[in-house]
Amino acid sequence: MLSSLEEHGSATHAPGAGEMVETLPALLDRAAARFGARPALWFLGRRWRYRDVAATVDRLAAGLQRLGVGPGVKVGLCLPNTPYSVMFFFAVLKAGGVVVNYNPLYVAREIAAQMADSGTTIMVVADLARILAPVLEAGATRVILCPMRGILPPLKALALYTLRRREIATPRDQRIIPFAALLDDAGRGGAGVPAPVSLARDDLAVLQYTGGTTGVPKGAMLSHGNLLACMRQTLACAPEVALGEERVLAVLPLFHVIGMTVLMNCSLAIGAEIILLPRFSIDEVLRTIKQTRPTIFPAVPTIVTAVLAATPTRRAKDLASIRLWTGGGAAFPAELCDRLAALTGRRFVEAYGLSETSGASVSNTTFAPIKTGSVGRAVIDTIIEIRDPDHPERILGADEKGEICIRGPQVTMGYWNRPEESARAFIDGAFRTGDIGYLDADGYLFIVDRLKDLIIAGGYNIYPRVIEEALHRHPKVLEAMVIGVPDAYRGEAPRAYVVLRPGEKLNAEELLAFLAGEVSKIEMPRDIVFRDSLPKTAIGKLSKKDLRAMECASAAR
C-alpha cells in the first residue's frame, strides 16, 4: 500500500521555511536578515543574537578556507551541544566543505574508523580532554580547539577551569589550532568575509554515519536539498508555530539527524531561540525549563519518562510553557503518551524517520487526529510503500505487514564509497528502511519492529515491540527491552529486561502472570531479567545492540 500525507489534505507550506532558499548557508543568512536582533542561541545562561551568530559564521568560514577547506573537503564536528556546534556546522558549509558528524563519546578506535572511511582531515572539538585525546590519537592533521571558557557565564567558567581543570585539554600539539587563532587569522585575511562558493541543492552537505540495517557504520550522503526538504516537511506538520517567538529545548544532540534537522535547521527557519544543553541531566533539564520557558520540546521516550517521573502532579505548571512535545527515534509507548497528556494536557506528536531520510518522513501533526500506536502519515512530497520482505517487488495492501520503504526529496543519495550497499538499500527507487510495519485504510503507519529485531521461535515470528508495549502497561514498569536469545527447543526465545519505577517491587512470577493476559503464549518471554538501568544510545534511545553485546560478553565468560 502507498500513502502520502498530501492525499489527506495536510498543510503544504511551513511558516518561514523559505521556499526560495536552496542551500543551508542561505538559510542562516536569511534568518539573520529577518531575525537579526532576536536571540538565536542560549547556552547555560549566555545568549547570542542571530546577527552575531551569522557574523561569527562568516569569520569562521573565512578561517576554514585559509586552512584549505573548500568543495569536497571533509570537516569533522566532534562536539557536545554548544554554540560552537551550530556555528561550525554552517561555517564548514559556507566555506564549501562537507560536515561529518561525530559522537564525542566515541572512543579512539571508532573515531579513527569514521575518519578513515569519510576522509576527514580537519576535526573541530571542545577543549575537553576526553574528546581531544582520541581525535589526536586517530591521526587528525588539524584540530580546531574550542574553549568552553569562551561560551560559559563567568562563574561557571571559573568553576570548570578551577575545580575540574583535569578535564580541560591543553593545546600542546602543533596540529592544534585554538578557536581564537582561527578567528584572528580570518580577520587578517580579509575582514572575516569568506570567498564566495558556488553551492547547489544537490551538492553533498553532510555525511551522517549510521549503522543502518546492517549494523556496520556507513556515511549516509545528505545533500543541501535533502536537509532543506526535511526541514520544510517537518515544519508543515505544525503550521501554528509562531515566527520569531518559539524557544526550542535542545537536549537531543545536534550530531544526530533529529537534532540537526528538528532542533537546528527548523529552529533557524522560524527564528526560534535554541536552548542548548550539552548533556541530558534531569535536574539540569527541569531547571532550564523553569528558567527559559521553552515552547517546543523534541525528545525521545526515555527523556519524557524521566521528566514525568521527576514532575509530580502538583508541579505540572512547571511544564506549562511547552506547547509542543515532539520527537521520535524509538517506539513511544501508548501508556507514556497517556501519562504526558494527563499531566500536561498535551499529546506527544510522534514522528518516524532515519538518518538516511534526513529526519522524519512520517509524522503525526498538530492539526489531524492521532491514532494510538501510529507514528502518523507520510509528510508532504513523500510516499510510503509497504513491500513484501520475501518478494520486495510486491507492494502490499492495507493492514498487511511488510518492509517500510520511502520515496521523497529528503531521501539520501546513497552511502559514501559503498555503491553495492547503496544499490541494495533501494528497491525501484524507494529506500528500504529495514523496519516492519503496515498502513491502515487512512494511511496511518504502524511500526511493528525492526527486521533484524524479529525473533523466530519454533517457526513463529515474534515482534519484540508487542511484548515491550505490554510490559509498559504494568504500572510498576519504567523501561523494558526484549531481545531474542538461543533456545534449545524453539531455536530462539524472547527474553525481557525490565527497569522498575523508583521504590517499586515486583518479581518475575508476578510480571509473567500480568503478561499472560496481554500477549499470546507464543510471545511470552522465556524469562525476565530485572536491572537498575538499560543501555542507551547518545540520544537516549534504548540500545538493543549494546544489550546484545553485553549478553554475548556475559555468555562467553
Per-domain boundaries in the chain: 23-199, 225-451, 454-556
**Residue 463 pLDDT:** 76
Mean pLDDT is lowest, of 294-308, 376-390, 531-545, for 531-545
Query: What percent of the chain stands above pLDDT 90?
Result: 68
Rounded CA separation 15/545 (Å): 39
Rounded CA separation 429/435 (Å): 17
Residue the block writes with cell 573537503? 73
Alpha helices (runs of H) in 67-175, residue ranges in sequence order: 83-94, 108-118, 129-137, 154-163
Q: Is the pLDDT of residue 201 over 80?
A: yes
Strand 402-407 to 430-439 pairing: antiparallel
Can you name the CATH fold of 23-199?
Answer: Rossmann fold (3.40.50)
| CB-based contacts of 361-365 (< 8 A; 24+ apart in sequence) | 361/230, 361/233, 361/406, 361/408, 361/410, 361/411, 362/445, 363/233, 363/234, 363/237, 363/328, 364/237, 365/5, 365/10, 365/11, 365/237, 365/238
Q: Is the pLDDT of residue 330 over 90?
A: no
Rounded CA separation 144/141 (Å): 10
**Residue 187 pLDDT:** 54
Rounded CA separation 465/413 (Å): 30
Q: Where does residue 283 rank: exposed (0-12), middle (13-18), buried (19+ CB within 10 A)?
A: exposed
Q: Is the pLDDT of residue 200 over 90?
A: yes
Fold equal for 225-451 and 454-556: no
Split at pLDDT 50, 70, 90, the class of 76 is very high
DSSP 262: I
Q: What is the mean pLDDT of residues 179-188?
A: 78
Task: Using DSSP, state whether 476 is helix, strand or coil.
Answer: coil
Q: Is the pLDDT of residue 19 over 50?
A: yes
Q: Looking at the structure, give the CATH architecture of the domain made up of residues 454-556.
A: 2-Layer Sandwich (3.30)
Rounded CA separation 15/238 (Å): 9
Q: Which three cell numbers stand for residue 314?
A: 502538583
Radius of gyration of the chain from Cα atoms? 23
Q: Which three cell numbers stand for residue 510?
A: 508476578
> Counting every residue, how long is the chain?
557
Rounded CA separation 253/128 (Å): 17
Rounded CA separation 205/224 (Å): 5
From first CA to last CA, the distance across the chain in angstroms is 47
Closest CA to 98 of 70, 64, 66, 59: 70
Q: Which three cell numbers stand for residue 374?
A: 501510529
Looking from the CA of 514 toward its CB, the CA atoms found within 13 Å total 18
Residue the block writes with cell 555468555? 555
Q: Looking at the structure, give the CATH architecture of the domain made up of residues 225-451.
A: 3-Layer(aba) Sandwich (3.40)
The alpha carbon of 300 is separated from its chain's Cα centroid by a whole number of angstroms, namely 9
Alpha helices (runs of H) in 141-198, residue ranges in sequence order: 154-163, 179-188
> Strand pairing partners for 456?
461
Q: pLDDT tens digits for 111-141?
A: 999 999 999 999 999 998 888 888 998 889 9
Task: Using DSSP, state whether 513 is helix, strand or coil.
Answer: helix
Residue the block writes with cell 571542545? 126
